[in-house]
Amino acid sequence: MGAARLLVDIEVLEFLRARMTREQEDLVRRFREIAAAPANHSDFPETDASGRRVEVHVFGKFAIKYWDDLAAMQVKRLDVHPADRRAR
């Protein structure tokens, strides 16, 4: 089975645009790695406002939140923020 299709929230793109080039490249590389094997990158789960399980992956100084839609073969990127900031 190949990597899932990666869907990224517009706020994540805006966050990336504000980062230095090296951080952008590192984050995009990690996004692709998560899409290829989402279960291998979850550090801990959270529950979003709708009750859905959301995985959180701490990558250096960033926290990446995503959920894996197995039926649609999609990984949905919900949020990226500094890891020391409380999740929204």
Reported pTM: 0.83
Rg (CA), the chain: 12
DSSP annotation of 1:
-
CATH 1.10.150.240, domain 5-82, yes or no: no
CB 17 within 8 A of CB 10: no
Stretch 52-65: mean pLDDT, rounded? 94
Report the distance separating Cα 38 and Cα 75, nearest Å. 7
- Alpha carbon 25 to chain centroid distance? 14
- Domain positions in the chain are 5-82
- What does each C-alpha distance from 58 to 9, 19, 42, 82, 87 come to in angstroms? 18, 17, 8, 9, 12
pLDDT digits (tens, 9 = 90+) for 8-35: 889 999 999 999 999 999 999 999 999 8
